[in-house]
Amino acid sequence: MNVLNTPDPDFMQDEEITLFSDSVGKWIDEHAPPEAVQSWIANSSVPRELWTQAGQDGLMGLSMPEEDGGMGGDYRHEVVLMRQLGWKGADHFGISLHNAIVAPYIWHYGTEEQKQRWLPRLASGELVGAIAMTEPGAGSDLQGVKTTAVKSGNGYVVNGSKTFITNGQLANLIIVVAKTDPTAGAKGTSLIVVETDGAEGFERGRNLHKIGMEGNDTSELFFNEVKV
């Protein structure tokens, strides 16, 4: 059997999931038709307005609890969105990283105050999320990151640089992998949330051109004494 014609697993064979898939496909046809995708590729970025539209139409925070501003779905809904974007050639839109990586980090590990502060805004499209791991000298070896976050009063001061960061040109909430204790190995590596709007010392570098996913902004980021 051709792998492309493999039936969905039982957990995806659900009427609600089927209806949701149809509605997502129609949304993409309306808001991300082929000519729009070509403009994304030309600009190496999707328009910021698309994020806002996706939030207004309930496509952000799909598996986030309703009490936190999300849609109260589960990972099947995220799969449907990723699959429809792929089928229609619109997967340059970095919404799946926002929905399935950034938001869950905050939901699982954030304090109640942090969840109340950020999750509803991630679900509405007010915030665009990114996660900054890769550095010029460190990729999948996260113990090798050089970015630091030094305790200062009630917060931290972040210094370092990141590269190849998906959604990096548009993101205004970035989870930064940084060393909080350089002597402790993996246990000294932390996730620091940086809100970029008005953040002194934060700069975006080049929007990097790539062989694939050309319509997604992928950036260099610089942190120079950024206080969080």
Question: pLDDT tens digit string along 182-217?
Answer: 888 888 999 999 999 999 999 999 999 888 889 999
The pLDDT of 39-57, averaged and rounded, is 96
Decide: residue 46, CB within 10 A, 0-12 exposed, 13-18 middle, 19+ buried.
buried
Superfamily of domain 10-124: Acyl-CoA dehydrogenase/oxidase, N-terminal domain (1.10.540.10)
Mean pLDDT confidence for 31-50: 96
Q: Over 60: is that where the pLDDT of 1 sits?
A: no
Q: How confident is the model at residue 13 (pLDDT cuts 50, 70, 90)?
A: confident
Query: Parallel, antiparallel, or unpaired: how do β-strands 155-166 and 218-227 relate?
Result: antiparallel
pLDDT of residue 210: 87
Residue count of the chain: 228
* More confident position, 187 or 148: 148
Which has more pLDDT, 2 or 82?
82
Q: Spell out the domain ranges in the chain.
A: 10-124, 129-227
Overall average pLDDT of the 46-61 stretch: 95
Report the CATH fold assignment for 129-227.
Butyryl-CoA Dehydrogenase, subunit A; domain 2 (2.40.110)
- Mean pLDDT (whole number) for 13-39: 93
Mean pLDDT of 23-38: 97
Decide if pLDDT at 142 tops 90: no
